[in-house]
Amino acid sequence: MANIKPRVRIPRKAKAGEVVEIKSLIEHKMETGQRKGKDGNKIPRKIINRFECKFEGDLVFASDWHPAISANPYLAFHMRAEKTGEFEFKWIEDGGAEYVKKAKMTVS
Amino acid sequence: MGKTPSKLILAGCLALTACFAGKAFAADKKWGQYQVEDRRSGYTFAAPETRAMQDDNFQNPGMLWAEIGEELWEKTEGEAGKACASCHNGPETMKGVAVSYPKYVAEKKNLENLEQRINRCRTDNMKAKPWKYESKELLGMTVFVRNQSLGMPMNVKVDGEYAPFFEKGKAFYEQRRGQLDLACKHCHEDFEGGQLRANILSQGQGNGFPVYRLKWSGVGSLHRRFRGCNKQVRSKPYGYGSDEYLALELYVMWRGRGLPVETPAVRN
């Protein structure tokens, strides 16, 4: 798929102190580097090797990914909502390309 | 490798697992809408994690294809200067459409599946190029249109003009083929619930197609699955959209009558 689309789902509103679930999914082949193409040569590795989530600039979640992670990887985690602000989700690909998605959450 | 040993090994493996893990063990489970009489969706054979992926629209990677379809629905293409939405309005007008495909088309004197119906709208009504079978556009639109009927019971016609196609599809289903000399029926009826290598054999239902297959890391059509199942017994696959597969599609959809449309289902 030519264009790589990241998706996130967060609650748009939350109560202070509430534990909210953050879901993310990115459309990506996660080419392992182990497969051979039709010409018999190895297809070069191209995976998302790191995922980061920042809230108002502070890193709240990060993980390093390896070739065994499935295509179109889905990741969910929980965090405590404390204040209103903006999330920045970032997927970093081999070779340095970055895919970014932002989303706001209002906390009352 | 000789032909006979592999055939024997497979037959032996099927026979063994069928003895130990035949139909009995799963029959008393309640599967809600996913089971109608003795007809069970592939959902009921899937691992719990796979089912959870399907149940959550967000987690279901097949929904990425539905989004492709959603975007294309509004896109003007072709010499007539139209988009799907110009004639069909919102996608909700497609609700209930999927359940009766494949359908008989008098002008063609043949069946037509949903992929082909969508492409006929492109060529005849939009004066645009048809999308290729298995392209992300055709898969995306097919997923999007079928998804409008999510949960509705499948209900294809098999009488009248449909009867000869139904008979042809049934004959295909029961015909032994390939070096392994197995019919669809052997795996999906006689050995349902048995284990074949890493897979649990389901009834081979079509209600979730196009499905997101973990093995494919993507969405594929029912005809792609037919081709895979043909190749699996080392028989020559037929073409996408071929008459053979259209008749087979009708028969397979009839086998699953009453099961809910699950598109995009998730399977391993």
Domain count across chain B: 2
What pLDDT score does B194 carry?
87
Active site residue B84: no
Instruction: Give the Cα separation of B119 and B102 in Å (integer).
Output: 14
What pLDDT score does B3 carry?
36
The tokens describing B235, both together, are 């028989």
My answer on whether B190 and B237 are in the same domain is: yes
How many other β-carbons are positioned within 10 Å of the β-carbon of residue B23? 14
Q: Is the pLDDT of residue B119 over 70?
A: yes
- Is A71 in Cβ contact with B58 (below 8 Å)? no
What pLDDT score does B212 carry?
97
- Give the domain range for residue B246: 42-58+154-267
Its ipTM equals 0.73
Q: pLDDT category, B46, cuts 50, 70, 90?
A: very high
B19 is a domain residue: no
From B104, B122, B147, give the residue that closes a domain.
B147
- Is the entire prediction scored with pTM above 0.95? no
My answer on whether B103 and B167 are in the same domain is: no
Beta bridge partners of B219: B212
- Is A9 in Cβ contact with B61 (below 8 Å)? no
What pLDDT score does B95 carry?
98
From B147, B168, B192, give the residue that closes a domain.
B147
Q: Quick one: average pLDDT of B104-128?
A: 98
| C-alpha torsion angle, residues B254, B256, B260, B261 (rounded to 10) | -70
Mean of pLDDT over chain B: 90
B13 is a domain residue: no
Q: pLDDT category, B13, cuts 50, 70, 90?
A: very low
Instruction: Give the Cα separation of A32 and A44 in Å (integer).
Output: 8
What pLDDT score does B30 carry?
81
CB contact A27 to B (< 8 Å): yes
Architecture of A5-107 per CATH? Sandwich (2.60)
- Tell me which residue of B262, B141, B136 sits closest to B211, measured CA to CA: B262
What pLDDT score does B34 carry?
96
Q: Quick one: average pLDDT of A69-91?
A: 95
Q: Quick one: average pLDDT of B27-55?
A: 90
Report the CATH number that the domain containing residue B180 is assigned in CATH: 1.10.760.10
* Domain chopping of chain A, boundaries: 5-107
My answer on whether B189 and B138 are in the same domain is: no
Q: pLDDT category, B29, cuts 50, 70, 90?
A: low
- Tally C-beta pairs within 8 A across A and B: 28
B25 is a domain residue: no
Residue A72 has its nearest CB partner, among B58, B64, B67, at: B64
